[in-house]
Structures are given as structure tokens and as C-alpha cells.
Amino acid sequence: MKAEYINPFLESARIVIEQVANIRPSTGQLGIKDVKFVEKFIWIQIGMTGQMQGDIVFGLHEDVALKVVSAMMGGYVITEMDEMSKSAISELGNMISGNASTMLFNQGVRVDITPPKLLHSATSAGFLPKKALTIPLIMEGIGELDIQVLIV
């Protein structure tokens, strides 16, 4: 795993979150950790094919997801992860990944992304524990969005 793989996703996430939710996130500490799916978390999985193969997984606590969706809706308070909220948070992952794949293309790396897969619980994830390059984005007053890169 190379650290430069995560940079386009990090930059894209900052840009997209600022545009759609009017929040300027700060960056946490880059590290390698075991991907463990935890209950009460929302997981957005995007597959990568082409010159980079693997998955990008965005993880955030349900409460954080609700706050992000509320911010995306112009401040309208969202209290449950209904179909519209799930669609909005999935689209956030899709927009971040699509923008990052364009950045990668501009750097000479050809990749395609799969549609987002929203995983609402650890048991539905079907993921085996594995190591990922990870970095949290800290959204003041909202919480953290973990970006986890699992590229082979």
C-alpha cells in the first residue's frame, strides 16, 4: 500500500464535504490499522478496478451520518437513516470517489469505480479483517469520517 493512494481521496473528501455540507474538515493522523466493522456505523464501500484494484471504505457513526445528511439538506434536521438519508450518504461516497478517480486519471492512473454499497451493520459487511491505510477527516461539531484504502 502506498500513501499516495489515499491523497486523492482525502483531497476529494475535503472538497466534496465543503461543497455539499458547508463544512471544512480537518485531517487526522494517517495510519495503518485493521478494518473492523463496528455496529452503529454506516459503511460506504466503493470498489476500484483498473490500475488500482481494491476497495475504498468510508466509515462513520450513525449519529455522524445523520448530522452530515442534515448538513447536506441545508440544515433540515434528519433523525433516522431512512431511504433518502441512505441515498444521500451513499451519494456522498460516490461523489468523493468519482472526484478522486478523476484526480488519479490526471496523475496518469486509470481507475474505474463501482457504485457505492451501503453497509449498515458489521454482519452485513461480509468483510474479513484486513489492514487498511486509513485517515480520519474531522468535521467540527459533527464528528469523524474515516477513509480506509484497501488497494492490492
Residue 12 binned pLDDT confidence (cut-offs 50, 70, 90) = very high
- What's the predicted TM-score (pTM) here? 0.89
Classified as helix, coil or strand, 123 is helix
Read out DSSP for 60-113? EEHHHHHHHHHHHTTT----S--HHHHHHHHHHHHHHHHHHHHHHHHTT--EEE
Kindly state the average pLDDT of the residues 21-48: 86
pLDDT in tens, 112-133: 999 999 987 655 555 566 778 8
Phi/psi-derived region of residue 114, left when phi > 0, alpha when psi is between -120 and 50, beta in every other case? beta
pLDDT in tens, 69-101: 999 998 899 999 999 999 999 999 999 999 999
What's the confidence (pLDDT) of residue 35? 72
Contact 151, 62 (CB under 8 A): no
Residue 139: its H or E element: strand 130-139
pLDDT in tens, 37-67: 677 889 899 999 999 898 999 999 999 999 9
What's the confidence (pLDDT) of residue 82? 92
Whether the pLDDT of residue 137 is over 80: the answer is: yes
